[in-house]
Amino acid sequence: MRLTITVRRYRPGEEDALWSLLHTTVHRVNATDYSQAQLDAWAPQNCPTEWCSRLQRTQPLVALAGSELVGFAELEANGHIDCFYTAFNWQNKGVGGVLLKAIEREAVTLGLPRLYAEVSITAKDFFLRKGFTFDAERIAEIRGEQLTNYAMSRRLV
């Protein structure tokens, strides 16, 4: 039996669970495309001090399977998607698609003409399958490490 994935807004008190999901996913899923030093810079063991205030500011969408937190994503007012993560043990089970549909609904409600993101090497194929186009290869510097990512976008209207 497959659980239904539901999406709701982040709730105060979920900061540690969301950081744990991000950290574990980055280190398990992205390890095929990035070095250990890059992974440690991207998702250090200890939650950054600004994490809680960031979540309070961005109010990410959170995906749940029953009561289990299985993903989250942020949509900024200009259409930028940030922090788009599916738990490592929920990869390829539809969580990302459900999160992206929720983002699309919100973007349409806000009247946004397009969505855009800087996605990891690992996530590039997911976004291509969802209709995003490749705009440019980029190098992001995070905590002194350089990581390749891809600027991608999709028109909504």
**Mean pLDDT across 4-32:** 96
Domain coordinates in residue numbering, the chain? 5-113
Let me know: does 56 contact 145? Beta carbons within 8 Å.
no
pLDDT band at 2 (very low <50, low <70, confident <90, very high): low
pLDDT band at 48 (very low <50, low <70, confident <90, very high): confident
What angle separates helix 15-29 from helix 51-58, to the nearest 10 degrees?
100
* pLDDT tens digits along 94-105: 999 999 999 999
What percent of the chain has pLDDT above 70?
Answer: 99
pLDDT of 1 > 60? The answer is no
Contacts of 148 (CB under 8 A, 6+ apart): 121, 137, 138, 139, 140
> The domain 5-113 is classified under which CATH number: 3.40.50.1110, 2.40.110.10, 3.30.70.2190, 3.40.630.30?
3.40.630.30
Residue 49 has phi, psi (to 5 degrees) of -60, -30
pLDDT of 90 > 70? The answer is yes
**Mean pLDDT across 26-45:** 96
